[in-house]
Amino acid sequence: MKLNFDIIVENLSKSYHTKRFESNDSRCLYKRPFLYEKNCVFEKERIYIAPIESYKYLFITEEVVYPKGITFVFIGDYQFDGIPSSIDARILFIDNTANLISVFHDIHKIFDKYDAWENSLRDELENSNDIDIEKMLNIGTEMLENPICVTNQNLQVLFDSYYYLQEDKKGQAAAGETRHLSIDDSIRVKEVCKKEQKIKTPYISSIHMENRAYCFNLYPLGYFAGCIAVVELNRTFRDSDFFLANHFFVYFQKAFLKHLRYYQPKESIFELALRKALNKEL
């Protein structure tokens, strides 16, 4: 699984003192890191780890040519408040308390963590025709550390997954009891959702509730079938959460399609066309 710069920095910042600088392209995704060697041939979408001495050689003395979509992680005592505007790369400085090889291994561990998460999503999706939606939700909840809620096209809650901290401080996801909104809240939510259900990309809902929700409308069969939302309850959203949630939504919509096909009777072509037409009129 390729990772973005936010995920790398947020995970490394748990163990190291870091300072980041970056280009404006937030869509870059990266493959596993290499140790930088002088005069090496750079690869796109690659992270290069180097001692701080290499920074001057790469960007000041020699101005080495490198491809776009590349990240450098420099280890050592840095004295920079900024970097030249000509540098079109993402750069992360880690202070000299860190060991270059340790950082290299720790970044690989970060990739291992998210590869294992994606593999668990893929395994559950491909497990059988009778997909376990609650298990799929729990896999997402444990990574995002916030509850996830799924509603149907009538905004009735189908599935809930909560995140609980155990005594050993490790989090665990579990299905929660179905929640019911007050009449006033229900009316307000339905009014907003009628407008937002046409949105085909993930979004922060404009519903004014106690907690923000990052939502994705489910269109597994070409019509609005429901919505999945990550709720900002246990902790505030991190920059990396949006990328991870988007990645999870792709898997979940495929799982939801399998769920619908398994539990709901097959619709005729006429019924499917009618449902699509009704959704367009909403």
pLDDT of residue 104: 97
What would the pLDDT profile of 216-259 be if each residue is shown by its tens digit?
999 988 889 999 999 999 999 999 999 999 999 999 999 998 88
10 Å Cβ neighbour count for 118?
Answer: 15
What would the pLDDT profile of 123-176 be if each residue is shown by its tens digit?
999 886 678 889 999 999 999 999 999 988 888 888 899 887 665 556 667 666
The whole-model pTM stands at 0.85
- Three-class SS of the chain: CCECHHHHHHHHCCCCCEEEECCCCCCCCECCCEECCCCCCCCCCEEEEEECHHHHHHHHHCCCCCCCCEEEEEECCCCCCCCCCCCCCEEEEECCCCCHHHHHHHHHHHHHHHHHHHHHHHHHHCCCCCCCHHHHHHHHHHHHCCCEEEEECCCCEEEEEEEEECCCCCEEEEECCCCCCCHHHHHHHHHHHHHHCCCCCCEECCCCCCCCEEEEEECCCCCCCEEEEEECCCCCCCHHHHHHHHHHHHHHHHHHHHHHHHHCCCCCHHHHHHHHHHHHHC
